[in-house]
Amino acid sequence: MSIQQNIEKIKSEIGSAQLICVSKYHTEDEIMEAYNLGLRDFGENKVQDLIKKQENLPKDIRWHLIGHLQTNKVKYLIGKTHLIQSVDKVELADLINKKSFDAGVTTDILVQVNSTGIESRFGVEPEKTVEFIKEILKFKNLNIKGLMGMAPICDNPRPYFENLKKLFDECKSLGILNGDILSMGMSLDYKSAVDCGSTMVRIGNKIFA
Ligand SMILES: *Cc1c(COP(=O)(O)O)cnc(C)c1O
């Protein structure tokens, strides 16, 4: 199938959820193909890739950082993202806040939750997420727009997405989020994610393959 057919198929399956095109393994020419088909939101894993592609590509692209963010890279990134989806440490949030303040901007972020059930260095543990968000609420140059998470690669990802949705609803009802974004679902599992309440899917392979 062509990129166009892939995008049309995905769009027909995700309802009102927003499609983020994950371009981390793809060239600027490939990104332009997706851009010319109407996509404007692109996701990168690495700060240096995001910056380089942003320099060379149309200015109306909204860039999402979806990969792990090291504190020593924050200074290069501020003001360049539409959404940083991978905030999972207080020190990281603190630094993004400080650099945003210095630059006179507010940075939109998602809190990355370790929703896989697998021990990981990345993502806040689900049971610590409310406490984490309450702690970073004091950072006035951050806008906490929602949560990001993933399911492990498995036959039935739904329970992972359902748990993430429950946590999202809890955060919403506590009034600690400043947005309605629940970013979950990738090439292999986006349909389950959307069924479980995802508002944003991050898809690479399935678009470009
Ligand atoms: C790579 C990546 C994706 C997209 O994965 P595909 O399998 O190519 O759809 C989504 N989210 C994150 C955090 C990723 O690193």
Nearest-CA residue for atom 6 of ligand 1: 204
Distance 203 CA to ligand 1 centre (A): 6
64-80 tens-digit pLDDT: 999 999 999 999 999 99
Segments forming the whole domain that contains residue 56 = 3-208
**Does the beta carbon of 68 sit less than 6 angstroms from any atom of ligand 1?**
no
120-165 tens-digit pLDDT: 889 999 999 999 999 999 999 999 999 999 999 999 999 999 999 9
Q: What is the CATH number of the domain that holds 178?
A: 3.20.20.10
Candidates 48, 44, 78; CA nearest to 64 is 44
Residue 165 main-chain phi, psi, to 5 deg: -65, -40
Among all chains, which residue has been given the structure tokens 């945003």?
Answer: 100
Domains contained in the chain, number: 1
